[in-house]
Structure 1
Amino acid sequence: MHRRLFIFGAPLALAGCGAAEPVWAPDEQVARSVYRHPGPPSLTLYTVRNVGSDSGAHTGLMINASQRVMWDPAGTFKHDTFAERNDVIFGITPQIERIYRSYHARETYYIEIMDLDVSAETAERLLQLVMAYGAVPKAQCTISTTTILKQVPEFAHFRVSFFPEVLAEQFGALDGVRRSEFWEDDSGQNIETGAL
């Protein structure tokens, strides 16, 4: 298994959907990790795509509500310093968001990023839904994300799918979506020079 090592400490594992492992950070760690981003309430859908086939390999969702978190269902983006509760990673500062992107991108995968401003009520509802969902089993990152999104009116029409590219297509068809891509050409074994 390839690993991308970070200078700040323990290794992070390979991108993609891993096994469901319940994780429950203590209240004090979560409270210390809370980050409130000054931007508008928003969602950012990350689709990890294969460079050769363009097929999706993983889905992640950043939610900017009363705090900014990363929903990384069945994901492997882990570190001892992260406050995580069952696939919700707290404290998504701009630096941690950049590390998240860099962690998943390599010569064989790039990240399709879609940003969408939403109402404060929608963002907060989705924050509560991801926090209540529980640990996600392997290969169900997109199913869990779509199931959560469908519980708010703006996304009720979404079709549940195993395939990240199907969710990306539906999300990308919404009015107001802003698209970007993130590419890196490393092998997935490099050592980052940044620190938390």
Structure 2
Amino acid sequence: MPGAVAACAAGPRDLVSPEEVAAAKYVHGAPYSITLLTMINNRTGGGAHSSIMINAPSQRVIFDPAGSVRHPRIVEREDVLYGVTPQIVDFYERAHARETYHVVIQNKPVPGEVAEQALRLAEAKGAAPQAFCSNYTSSILVQLPGFDSIRPTFFPKKLMEQYGALPGVTERKLFENDADDKQIAIDAFQG
């Protein structure tokens, strides 16, 4: 298991104030959705990381358990990234896509109340320990109406396959040829 989820590794997160979280709020509007992002190793085909973007009526966030994308423009509290504007989405996806990994982006439209429930669950979950990205992500999904077939897992690719089997899911993949060091893409982001 450690090799399969080695990219789900990050240190402790700084806690930001509720005021900073509120100030970062970004409302994207309908359609509401939950998007699973899975990072796949280009050499082995194995899954490396899982996260979900939740577009709820109240705001859009990314739940990035044990993630390692940090930037001064991103407000993060307990593995939830706030202020997820279109520019932040683009940055987040591109920071993960590089010569050694690609990103599978699976979007599922959901009713607004389901997206709000997912947001509340993500905020309540707390920061994930290393190698628990798919476990934390899947444990949220299994609690949502319409996600009954999802089973908790530690494996990003297994979660991706389960998610892709849900009705109404659309999928795209992002490949880039950036250097393997994602910190280069993070540092280059001007937002």
Verify same fold: TM over 0.5. yes
Partner of 1:166: 158
Offset of 1:194 from its aligned partner? 4.3
Find 1:59's aligned residue among 47, 50, 72: 50
Counterpart position of 1:157: 149
Q: Relative to structure 2, which stretch is displaced further, 163-172 or 147-156?
A: 147-156
Corresponding residue for 2:179?
Answer: 187
Q: Aligned-pair distance for 1:20?
A: 5.4
Distance (Å, rounded) in 1 between the aligned partners of 2:62 and 2:52: 6
User: How far apart, in 2, do the equivalents of 1:143 and 1:194 lie?
Assistant: 29
Residue in structure 2 matching 1:130, options 122, 134, 137: 122
C-alpha deviation, 1:19, in angstroms: 3.7
CA distance in 1, matches of 2:179, 2:72: 24
Q: Which letter does structure 1 place at the counterpart of 2:129? A: P
User: What is the letter of the counterpart of residue 64 of structure 1?
Assistant: N
Gaps (5+ residues) in structure 2? Answer: 1-5
Identity in percent: 43
Which residue in 2 is equivalent to 1:88? 80
Alpha carbons 2:63, 2:81 under 8 Å: kept: yes
Q: Which letter maps to 1:195?
A: Q
| Alpha-carbon contact 2:150-2:162 (below 8 Å) kept | yes
Q: Which residue of 2 aligns with 1:3?
A: none
Cα shift at 1:32: 1.4
Q: Which runs of 5+ in 1 are unaligned?
A: 1-14
Across the aligned residues of Structure 1 and Structure 2, the Cα RMSD in angstroms comes to 1.6
Q: Number of aligned residue pairs: give it.
A: 182
The equivalent position to 1:24 in structure 2, one of 15, 32, 39, is 15
Whether contact under 8 Å (1:20, 1:136) holds in the other structure is no
Do 1:73 and 1:141's aligned partners in 2 also have CA atoms closer than 8 Å?
Answer: yes
AA at the equivalent of 1:47: T
Measured after TM superposition, the shift of residue 184 of structure 1 is: 0.6
Distance 2:11 2:145 in 1: 28
- On the 8 A contact 2:29/2:55 being kept in 1, the answer is no
For residues 188 and 81 of structure 2, the distance between their equivalents in structure 1, rounded to whole angstroms, comes to 22
- Contact 2:104–2:171 (Cα < 8 Å) also in 1: yes
Q: What TM-score, normalized by structure 2, do the two folds share? A: 0.89
Q: Deviations over 1:26-53 (max 9, x none)?
A: 1221111100003311011100001122
- What displacement does 1:155 show? 1.6
**Offset at 1:193?**
4.8
Deviations 1:85-121 (A, max 9, x none): 1000001000001110111111010000001100111
Where 2:117 maps in the other structure, the secondary structure is: helix
Say whether 1:143 aligns with 2:138. Answer: no
Deviations for 1:102-147, whole angstroms, at most 9, x for unmatched residues?
1111101000000110011110000000000011000000001111
Q: Residue type of the partner of 1:105?
A: A
> Contact 2:65–2:132 at 8 Å: present in 1 too?
yes
**Counterpart residue identity of residue 28, structure 1:** E
Aligned pair partner of 2:96 in 98, 101, 104:
104
